[in-house]
């Protein structure tokens, strides 16, 4: 996909970088009419002053971006999807217009050698070269004009400097007259400077492309050098015939123009719904993010205006500017609150509208701009006394970078803690000074004034690493304690952490614990090999499933698993390495596989056992495998190396139906056969697959077994009592019972207690999770519960349709 | 008499397969092969005894269903229903028609679910090489799928590519899990990579479908496996029956499933038949040709228009009864359960003489294995008894039902069988073979799925006219205290019979003769082989180390138990040992 960007400023640069960082496969082409690669216009005054050259203000650009310079765009051919330039055409799949704006002039300056605009590097160089002994006339007193005036004031070349102001304000139409007076006074301390209010050029004398004299309403100036800073207009003439436009190119909330494949951002764009055009770098970036997300279709966002925070340092004055997106300068209900301090040369000007803050302009203010921004966002009611009482600076000092919200104290700490000695070195720690670039100098100054003591830095660094390590080890300790609590048989000492870790290897039952430790606890790198082992284990937990004296009912239930489904479960989450019912391998292949698994995955596999273990006839009621191994011997052999043993279903609990009276084969459960008390029991006839998968996933996710009850059954599945959570419980309480199969009560879903439902004796979660993807369960089917999860007692006492109380069983 | 295989002059070797995997339960198969790798003798042995019949003794007859169903978790509903029906038969209680229909809705859905799981998840890996599927060209595969059905199920190139990718990333992750150590690359795997891919696609898809059908079963059964909705006299799920949404859910699941059967299962079986036509025609895995079917599943008057005018009650049944001897298709006898006996001369029980199931005992008499773990093939060698019909071993299951149904002109079965034979150029005799059993099973799945709709229609009609009865009332104390009864039911794997004798209002004796008892029967006192054994003898093994042909033959019966096969040379030395996963069923 080829994306063409028209423009050579910060917006174009940001767009290009951000496109490539999100999708390395796109082809990005920048077309700029300028001679230089994209640079940061914020620092044009440095070029004028000579304190920086063009390289210093050139923006970082991804080297994969193709840049065509000196290309003036003439038109866009939306049919052919081409950008038409004077020299060549560029094809695009998507076009983004970030051509910014161009400066206005009071008269046509084409062909005149001593009248310029102030917008580009070229302009800056021209200004710098034409100051000597000139009477410099700056027209316009906005931030650009003032900043230039401040720059020229520091330079000796100009003979006189005039600032022509059309009305009676400086910086902004909103600025209070007292602030204007304060600033005027400060500038006019330099006797070369004249600020002429309510003034404009009314006549000029031009000789051979050179203005020899101008006449203003109030002044006559010989040998002038005129610089226009009177405003800007969107630079979109090339698109006027092809795209819907007003002042700028009309765009929707995704910054898309009237053409589906063309977007516009920044000063060139005008949001159709609100008429808004971005002025600040931060807004341009947000718009760029919006356009990029919409083109790449990743996490698509809409552009929403944010509260604008800006700062400008001019001479002795620091402007702070916070404006609500809803601020309307012409609203007659606007009110001004002014707090002035003569001794501090400080003026705080608040513009309110119905008790809501709309704009703040501070001169040398000590008010925290981000705090004001918060006031606007939260739409808080405020009054003069509130403002007075809450005007103090943030405890972290002055806000240096409003774009990233970096306060003076934060930056000093960063610089000192990390021994930063230059602006470039700061980057890994903070983006301060790098977003709009306006505060770059302040940040650089802060760095050069900071006191960095390398030894102190090293000490702090070491302490920090130590504290991190300690915190991690403390967490690990807590986990060990929890582990010991959950499995009282395992005693892992927390006194010597390294020893404890080593001992995990010896804990054959729960080796998965190690992987949990390394992965979840983000342990130091010396445990890399364990992490490696952990990842493998987590991804593919080996599972061996043995069927003993069973009916395969639990296996049949298991293949009806959902979330994850059985295919995802066996293809992605676990490695079901041995399961007689499902495995492909046969003959020596399957038996050798089992032998190999027991050794190769020693201490890592989960053993699931389905069925009872017949001990009668020396175990000969069940013989498995080529050598006729008894079920009991096979179980013992495979259980020995298992990380954990799950007894699946009621037969594995205590023999279940196979052990019902008179227990002809002497069947017992897995725990009894193994003479172990750490077998996880998941009874049910069959077990609900949710209870297998839930327990398994708990183990995979948390690398430990869920909390168990006294019968080693996971509490989450075996604590709820069916009767308490039964959908028919209301009928029990109301005394509404089914008395006969198929009677009126049965049709209405009344309580089955009188029909021998054993819900009151069954502590298991059937009534809440149901079976077969929540389709039904025995009580819903009108039959009632037989407490099948209770093991063999269910088949001697519960599996019938009579109340327990009437049933003495043989 | 059997051909004795321990001829010391000929070069014979013995193969032991234990456990047989991809079956339910614990089955062992031992075979002896000659120098040409032809199987000359075979022994099938059930290796687990649980004694459920013993546990049933002395219980209240009304409680047997909940225990008997736990004979098997795969055929769970079949034993549940058989046990309840046997008790009803003993007491002469006839459940209402609605209860019968609900029982049928669960049973018929179980046919479909069981056949699907058997074919795809337990059996297809004997024919489908997973590893080869990774080599498939998905575009080509999509075209091939269209040769077998004009709308093949989920077989666009994209679908197939996705499956290939899923399997590929699984294989690349390093652990093959269930697919580890298969006989991949065995010369007897004949499908092309593309055909293997189509099959594996449906293997995964069938995992979903069987889950869905299970939901349909659970709508009336409460859950599955081990449903809980039957009582002596009827069913309990009356509330579900009266809920139109439940009926609707059930029907729509069956409808989706029907699409899978017609557009995936049947075409896949046809594809395998085409690839192995030679094996079928050569009669690989053919038994002795004696079959029986007990008939059953009264579908009422809704099954077809012809039957509405024909009052013959036989023709309203899904399956018709019959007995065939030695592939003699010209003569079909009627079935009579009184000819069933069981004997245990070669089984680990004390009661050796042929006995009626009502009277026989289940007294274990274990004579152990040889010290090397092999069967004592001269004496008792299995926990499975030897059921006989008129003293003869019989094969039961879908092949028996389809052959007999065809020959007796069963209205619901014959057209399906005829169509399949026409499409694939098969004859009736071909159903008596390894692959033929799978063909019969696939046709039966299609038939049972189709007839479900007429059953539901009948139920809806009953409810419409205010017949909401689901239970026949009886006074237990007024019932005879001594009686006997039986249930003979056709279930997915074959003919299932439960026999109950009641004395003093308690169970005095209980015997279940399940399909796998018939098919996996050991030899009898006369040395006559059981059907598995008969099907295996005569097979040629391409590689005795990988007895794939034996597995195919055993799997084709859809066993419901677990087993084992070893290879032993003339001197009795074990050459190789095999475990065949089997589904131990009825």
Q: What is the DSSP letter of A776?
A: B
As beta bridge partners, residue A321 has A310, A361
Q: What pLDDT is recorded for position A33?
A: 92
User: pLDDT tier at A395 (50, 70, 90 boundaries)?
Assistant: confident
Q: What pLDDT is recorded for position B173?
A: 64
Res. A810: pLDDT tops 50: no
Q: Take residue A651 and report the two structure tokens written for it.
A: 């037969």
Q: Which of B30, B12, B1 is nearest to B577 (CA)?
A: B30
Most confident of A539-548, A774-783, B516-525, B571-580: A774-783
**What residue in A sits closest to B206 (Cα-Cα)?**
A567
Q: Which position has the higher pLDDT, A704 or A248?
A: A248
A-chain CB neighbours of B236 within 8 Å are 741-742, 746, 781-784
Q: How far apart are CA A460 and CA B526, in angstroms?
A: 93
Q: Which position has the higher pLDDT, A796 or A456?
A: A796
Contact (CB, 8 A) for B539 and B33: no
Which of A553, A581, A627 shows the shortest C-beta gap to B583?
A: A581
Instruction: Name the minimum distance, in Å, from the CA of B213 to any CA of chain A.
Output: 10
Q: Which position has the higher pLDDT, A499 or A543?
A: A543
Token look-up 């807590």 returns: A478
Q: Check CB contact under 8 Å for B20 and A586.
A: yes
Q: What is the mean pLDDT of residues A696-725?
A: 84
Contact (CB, 8 A) for A15 and A96: yes
Question: Average model confidence (pLDDT) for chain A?
Answer: 85
Q: In angstroms, what CA-CA distances link A78 with A259, A267, B92?
A: 8, 21, 87
Q: Take residue A129 and report the two structure tokens written for it.
A: 């070269």
Q: What pLDDT is recorded for position B3?
A: 41
Contact (CB, 8 A) for A119 and A125: no
Q: What pLDDT is recorded for position A471?
A: 77
Q: How far apart are CA B184 and CA B192, in angstroms?
A: 13
Residues B245-260: pLDDT tens digits?
999 999 999 999 999 9
Tens-of-pLDDT digits for all 586 residues of chain B? 334 344 444 578 888 888 788 887 778 899 999 999 999 999 988 877 778 888 999 999 999 999 999 988 888 899 999 999 999 999 999 999 999 999 999 999 999 999 999 999 999 999 999 889 999 999 999 999 999 999 999 999 999 999 998 888 777 766 777 888 788 888 899 999 999 999 999 999 999 999 999 999 999 999 999 999 999 999 999 999 999 999 999 999 999 999 999 999 999 999 999 999 999 999 999 999 999 999 999 887 654 444 444 445 556 899 999 999 999 999 999 999 899 888 888 988 887 788 887 876 667 788 888 888 889 988 999 888 888 999 999 999 999 999 999 999 998 999 999 999 999 999 999 999 999 999 999 999 999 999 999 899 999 999 988 899 999 999 999 999 999 999 999 999 999 999 999 999 999 998 888 899 899 999 999 999 999 999 999 999 998 888 899 999 999 999 886 222 122 222 222 323 333 333 322 3
- Which residue of A537, A550, A568, A580 is the best one to mutate when testing the B interface, meaning the one whose CB has the most B CBs within 10 A? A580
Q: In angstroms, what CA-CA distances link A557 with A394, A679, B115?
A: 63, 21, 16
Instruction: Name the minimum distance, in Å, from the CA of B17 to any CA of chain A.
Output: 6
Residues A125-152: pLDDT tens digits?
999 999 888 999 999 998 889 999 999 9
Residues A188-231: pLDDT tens digits?
888 999 999 999 999 999 998 899 999 999 999 999 999 998 88
Predicted TM-score (pTM) of this structure: 0.64
Q: Check CB contact under 8 Å for A686 and B16.
A: no
As beta bridge partners, residue A2 has A27
Sequence-distant (6+) residues with CB within 8 A of A37 are A8, A58, A59, A61, A67, A69
Pairing relation of β-strands B494-503 and B506-513?
A: antiparallel
Q: Take residue A794 and report the two structure tokens written for it.
A: 């269910």
ipTM of model: 0.88
**What residue in A sits closest to B179 (Cα-Cα)?**
A584
Q: What pLDDT is recorded for position B64?
A: 96
Contact (CB, 8 A) for A127 and A116: yes
Contact (CB, 8 A) for B125 and B459: no
Q: Check CB contact under 8 Å for B238 and A747.
A: yes
Torsion of CA A798, A802, A807, A810, to 10 degrees: -60
Q: In angstroms, what CA-CA distances link A435 with A59, A192, A281, A374?
A: 11, 35, 8, 20
Q: Check CB contact under 8 Å for A584 and B130.
A: yes
Furthest CA-CA distance within chain A = 128
Res. A252: pLDDT tops 70: yes
**HEC assignment per residue over B369-428:** CCCCCCCCCCCCCECCCEEEECCECCECCHHHHHHHHHHCCCCCCHHHHHHHHHHHCCCH
B-chain CB neighbours of A589 within 8 Å are 181-183, 546, 578-579
Q: Which of A416, A390, A349, A357 is nearest to A183 (CA)?
A: A349
Cis peptide before A630 (omega within 30 of 0): no
Instruction: Name the minimum distance, in Å, from the CA of B413 to any CA of chain A.
Output: 29
Which sign, positive or negative, has the C-alpha torsion B386, B389, B391, B396? negative
Q: Take residue A343 and report the two structure tokens written for it.
A: 């001794």
Residues A72-86: pLDDT tens digits?
999 999 999 999 998
Residues A511-524: pLDDT tens digits?
343 343 333 334 44
Instruction: Name the minimum distance, in Å, from the CA of B81 to any CA of chain A.
Output: 15
A-chain CB neighbours of B211 within 8 Å are 559-560, 562, 565-566, 772-773
Instruction: Name the minimum distance, in Å, from the CA of A740 to any CA of chain B.
Output: 8
Which of B170, B223, B584 shows the shortest C-beta gap to A771?
A: B223
Instruction: Name the minimum distance, in Å, from the CA of B501 to any CA of chain A.
Output: 19
Q: How far apart are CA B428 and CA B436, in angstroms?
A: 9
Most confident of A447-456, A600-609, B210-219, B350-359: B210-219
Q: Check CB contact under 8 Å for B214 and A661.
A: no
Please, is A195 exposed, middle or buried when counting C-beta atoms within 10 Å of its C-beta (0-12, 13-18, 19+)? Answer: buried
- Which residue of A532, A586, A655, A659 is the best one to mutate when testing the B interface, meaning the one whose CB has the most B CBs within 10 A? A586
Contact (CB, 8 A) for A42 and A90: no
Which sign, positive or negative, has the C-alpha torsion A528, A530, A531, A535? positive
Q: What is the mean pLDDT of residues A495-508?
A: 45
Cis peptide before A662 (omega within 30 of 0): yes
Res. A794: pLDDT tops 60: yes
Which sign, positive or negative, has the C-alpha torsion A269, A273, A278, A284? negative
Sequence-distant (6+) residues with CB within 8 A of A490 are A483, A484, A507, A509, A510
Residues A666-698: pLDDT tens digits?
999 999 999 999 999 999 999 999 888 888 877
B390-402 in b/e form (b: 16+ CB < 10 A) is eebbbbbbbbbbb
Q: What is the DSSP letter of B264?
A: I
- Which residue of B106, B126, B164, B181 is the best one to mutate when testing the A interface, meaning the one whose CB has the most A CBs within 10 A? B181
Sequence-distant (6+) residues with CB within 8 A of A383 are A355
Q: CB count, 10 Å around CB of B453?
A: 15
B-chain CB neighbours of A667 within 8 Å are 50
Res. A236: pLDDT tops 60: yes
Please, is B385 exposed, middle or buried when counting C-beta atoms within 10 Å of its C-beta (0-12, 13-18, 19+)? Answer: buried
User: pLDDT tier at A703 (50, 70, 90 boundaries)?
Assistant: low
Contact (CB, 8 A) for A720 and A767: yes
Instruction: Name the minimum distance, in Å, from the CA of A25 to any CA of chain B.
Output: 23
Q: Check CB contact under 8 Å for A783 and B229.
A: yes
- Helix/strand/coil percentages in chain B, nearest 5: 45, 20, 40
- Which residue of B55, B174, B510 is the best one to mutate when testing the A interface, meaning the one whose CB has the most A CBs within 10 A? B55
* Cα atoms found within 13 Å of the Cα of residue B68, Cβ hemisphere only: 37
Contact (CB, 8 A) for B536 and B2: no
Q: What pLDDT is recorded for position B426?
A: 96
Q: What pLDDT is recorded for position A312?
A: 80
Q: What pLDDT is recorded for position A410?
A: 86
Q: CB count, 10 Å around CB of B173?
A: 15
Res. A298: pLDDT tops 60: yes
Counting residues of chain A whose pLDDT is more than 70, the rounded percentage is 89
As beta bridge partners, residue B31 has B15, B42
Res. A656: pLDDT tops 70: yes
Q: Check CB contact under 8 Å for A586 and B551.
A: yes
Q: Which of A206, A204, A202 is nearest to A217 (CA)?
A: A202
Q: What pLDDT is recorded for position A537?
A: 42
Instruction: Name the minimum distance, in Å, from the CA of A718 to any CA of chain B.
Output: 18
Q: Check CB contact under 8 Å for A771 and B76.
A: no
Q: In angstroms, what CA-CA distances link A648 with A710, B40, B220, B563?
A: 17, 41, 25, 22
Contact (CB, 8 A) for A552 and B72: yes
Which of A576, A583, A778 shows the shortest C-beta gap to B581?
A: A583
Q: Check CB contact under 8 Å for B207 and A565.
A: yes
**What residue in B sits closest to A684 (Cα-Cα)?**
B226
Q: Take residue A7 and report the two structure tokens written for it.
A: 């423009």
Instruction: Name the minimum distance, in Å, from the CA of B342 to any CA of chain A.
Output: 20
Which of B24, B183, B219 shows the shortest C-beta gap to A552?
A: B24
Residues B228-287: pLDDT tens digits?
999 999 999 999 999 999 999 999 999 999 999 999 999 999 999 999 999 999 999 999
DSSP A324-368: -TT--TT-TTEEEEEEEETTTTEEEEEEEETTEEEEEEEES--S-
């Amino acid at each position: 996909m080829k994306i063409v960007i028209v423009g050579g400023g910060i917006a174009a640069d940001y767009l290009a970088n951000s496109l490539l960082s999100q999708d390395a496969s796109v082809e990005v082409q920048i077309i700029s009419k300028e001679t230089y690669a994209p640079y940061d216009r914020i620092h044009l005054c440095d070029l004028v002053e000579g304190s920086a050259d063009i390289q210093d203000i050139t923006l970082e650009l991804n080297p994969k971006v193709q840049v065509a310079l000196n290309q003036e765009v003439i038109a866009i051919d939306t049919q052919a999807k081409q950008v038409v330039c004077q020299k060549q055409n560029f094809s695009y799949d998507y076009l983004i217009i970030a051509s910014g704006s161009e400066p206005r002039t009071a008269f046509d300056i084409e062909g005149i050698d001593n009248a310029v605009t102030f917008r580009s590097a070229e302009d800056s160089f021209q200004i710098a070269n034409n100051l000597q002994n000139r009477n410099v006339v700056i027209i316009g007193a906005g931030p650009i004009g003032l900043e230039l005036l401040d720059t020229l004031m520091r330079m000796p070349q100009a003979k006189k400097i005039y600032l022509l102001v059309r009305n009676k304000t400086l910086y902004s139409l909103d600025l209070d007259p007292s602030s204007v007076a304060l600033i005027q006074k400060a500038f006019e301390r330099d006797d070369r400077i004249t600020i002429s209010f309510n003034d404009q050029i009314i006549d000029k004398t031009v000789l051979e492309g050179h203005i020899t004299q101008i006449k203003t309403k109030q002044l006559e100036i010989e040998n002038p050098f005129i610089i226009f800073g009177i405003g800007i207009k969107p630079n979109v003439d090339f698109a006027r015939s092809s795209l819907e436009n007003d002042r700028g190119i009309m765009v929707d909330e995704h910054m898309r123009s009237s053409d589906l494949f063309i977007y516009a951002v920044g000063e060139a764009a005008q949001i159709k719904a609100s008429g808004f055009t971005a002025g600040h770098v931060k807004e341009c970036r947000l718009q760029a993010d919006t356009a990029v997300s919409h083109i790449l279709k990743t996490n698509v966002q809409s552009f929403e205006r944010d509260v604008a925070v800006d700062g400008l340092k001019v001479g002795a004055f620091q402007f702070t500017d916070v404006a609500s997106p809803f601020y309307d300068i012409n609203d007659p209900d606007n009110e001004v609150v002014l707090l002035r301090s003569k001794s501090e040369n400080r003026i705080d000007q608040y513009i309110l509208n119905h008790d809501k803050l709309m704009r703040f302009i501070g001169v040398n203010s000590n008010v925290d701009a981000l705090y004001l921004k918060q006031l606007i966002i939260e739409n808080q009611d405020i009054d003069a006394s509130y403002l007075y009482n809450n005007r103090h600076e943030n405890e972290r000092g002055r806000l240096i970078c409003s774009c990233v919200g970096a306060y003076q104290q934060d930056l000093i700490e960063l610089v000192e803690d990390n021994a930063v000695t230059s602006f470039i070195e700061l980057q890994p720690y903070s983006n301060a000074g790098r977003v709009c670039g306006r505060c770059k100098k302040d940040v650089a100054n802060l760095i050069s004034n900071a006191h960095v003591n390398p030894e102190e830095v090293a000490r702090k660094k070491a302490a920090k690493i130590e504290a991190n390590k300690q915190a991690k080890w403390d967490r690990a300790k807590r986990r060990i304690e929890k582990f010991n609590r959950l499995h009282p048989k395992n005693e892992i000492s927390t006194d010597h952490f390294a020893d404890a870790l080593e001992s995990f290897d010896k804990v054959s039952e729960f080796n998965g614990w190690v992987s949990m430790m390394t992965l979840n606890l983000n342990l130091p790198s010396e445990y890399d090999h364990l992490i490696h082992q952990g990842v493998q284990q987590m991804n593919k937990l080996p599972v061996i499933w043995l069927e003993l004296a069973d009916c395969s009912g639990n296996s049949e239930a298991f293949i009806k698993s959902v979330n994850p489904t059985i295919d995802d479960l066996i293809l992605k989450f676990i490695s079901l390495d041995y399961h007689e019912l499902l495995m492909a391998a046969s003959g020596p292949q399957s038996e050798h596989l089992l032998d190999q698994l027991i050794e190769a995955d020693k201490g890592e596999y989960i053993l699931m056992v389905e069925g009872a273990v017949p001990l009668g006839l020396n175990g000969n009621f069940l013989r498995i495998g080529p050598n006729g191994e008894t079920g009991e011997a096979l179980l013992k052999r495979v259980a020995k190396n298992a990380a954990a043993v799950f007894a699946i279903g009621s037969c594995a609990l205590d023999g279940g139906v196979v052990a019902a009276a008179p227990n002809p084969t002497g069947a017992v459960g897995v725990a009894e056969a193994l003479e172990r008390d750490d077998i996880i029991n998941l009874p049910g006839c069959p077990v609900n697959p949710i209870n297998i998968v839930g327990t398994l996933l708990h183990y995979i996710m948390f690398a430990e077994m869920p909390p168990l009850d006294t019968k080693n059954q996971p509490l989450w599945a075996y604590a709820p009592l069916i009767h308490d959570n039964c959908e028919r419980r209301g009928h029990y309480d109301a005394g509404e019972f089914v008395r006969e199969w198929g009677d009126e009560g049965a049709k209405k879903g009344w309580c089955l207690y009188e029909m021998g439902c054993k819900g009151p004796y069954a502590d298991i979660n059937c009534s809440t999770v149901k079976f077969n993807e929540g389709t039904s369960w025995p009580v819903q089917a009108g039959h009632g519960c037989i407490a099948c999860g209770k093991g063999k007692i269910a088949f001697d006492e519960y599996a019938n349709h009579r109340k327990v109380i009437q049933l003495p069983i043989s | 008499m059997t051909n004795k295989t321990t001829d010391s002059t000929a070069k014979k070797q013995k193969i032991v397969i234990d456990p047989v995997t991809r079956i339910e339960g614990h089955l062992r198969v031992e075979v002896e092969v000659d120098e040409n790798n032809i199987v000359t003798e075979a022994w099938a042995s059930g290796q687990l005894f649980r004694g459920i019949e013993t546990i049933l003794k002395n219980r209240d007859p009304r409680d047997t269903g909940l225990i008997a169903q736990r004979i098997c978790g795969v055929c769970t509903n079949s034993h549940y229903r058989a046990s309840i029906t046997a008790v009803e038969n003993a007491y002469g209680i006839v459940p209402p028609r609605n209860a019968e229909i609900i029982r049928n809705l669960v049973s018929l859905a179980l046919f479909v679910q069981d056949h699907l799981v058997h074919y795809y998840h337990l059996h297809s890996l004997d024919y489908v090489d997973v590893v080869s599927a990774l080599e498939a060209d998905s575009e080509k595969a999509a075209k091939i799928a269209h040769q077998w059905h004009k709308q093949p199920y989920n077989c666009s190139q994209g679908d197939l590519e996705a499956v290939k990718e899923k399997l590929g990333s699984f294989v690349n992750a390093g652990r093959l899990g269930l697919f580890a150590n298969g006989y991949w690359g065995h010369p007897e795997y004949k499908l092309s990579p593309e055909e293997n891919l189509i099959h594996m696609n449906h293997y995964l898809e069938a995992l979903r479908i069987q889950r869905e059908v299970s939901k349909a079963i659970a709508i009336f059964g409460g859950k599955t496996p081990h449903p809980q909705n039957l009582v002596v006299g009827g069913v309990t799920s009356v509330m579900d029956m009266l809920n139109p949404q439940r009926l609707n859910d059930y029907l729509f699941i069956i409808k989706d499933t029907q699409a899978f059967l017609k557009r995936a299962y049947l075409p896949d079986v046809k594809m395998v038949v085409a690839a192995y036509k030679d094996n079928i025609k050569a009669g690989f895995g053919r038994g002795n040709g004696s079959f029986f079917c007990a008939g059953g599943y009264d579908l009422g008057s809704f099954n077809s228009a012809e039957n509405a005018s024909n009052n013959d009650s036989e023709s309203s049944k899904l399956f018709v009864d019959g007995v065939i001897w030695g592939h003699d298709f010209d003569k079909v006898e009627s079935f009579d359960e009184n000819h069933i006996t069981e004997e245990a001369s070669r089984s680990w029980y004390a009661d050796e003489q042929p006995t009626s199931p009502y009277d026989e005992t289940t007294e274990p008499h274990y004579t152990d294995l040889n010290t090397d773990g092999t069967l004592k093939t001269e004496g008792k060698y299995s926990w499975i008894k030897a059921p006989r019909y008129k003293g003869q071993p019989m094969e039961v299951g879908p092949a028996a039902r389809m052959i007999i149904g065809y020959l007796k002109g069963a209205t619901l079965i014959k057209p399906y069988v005829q169509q399949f034979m026409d499409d694939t150029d098969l004859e009736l005799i071909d159903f008596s073979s390894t692959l033929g059993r799978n063909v019969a099973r696939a046709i039966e799945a299609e038939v049972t799925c189709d007839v479900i709709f007429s059953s539901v229609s009948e139920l809806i009609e009953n409810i419409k006219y205010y017949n909401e009865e689901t239970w026949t009332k009886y006074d237990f104390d007024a019932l005879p205290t001594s009686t006997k009864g039986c249930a003979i039911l056709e279930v997915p794997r074959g003919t299932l019979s439960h026999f109950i004798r009641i004395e003093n209002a308690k169970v005095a004796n209980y015997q279940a003769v399940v399909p796998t008892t018939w098919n996996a029967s050991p030899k009898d006192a006369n040395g006559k082989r059981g059907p598995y054994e008969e099907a295996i003898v005569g097979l040629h093994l391409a590689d005795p180390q990988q007895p794939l042909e034996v597995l195919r033959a055993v799997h084709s019966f859809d066993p419901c138990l677990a087993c084992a096969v070893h290879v032993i040379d003339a001197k009795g030395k074990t050459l190789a040992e095999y475990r065949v996963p089997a589904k131990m069923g009825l």
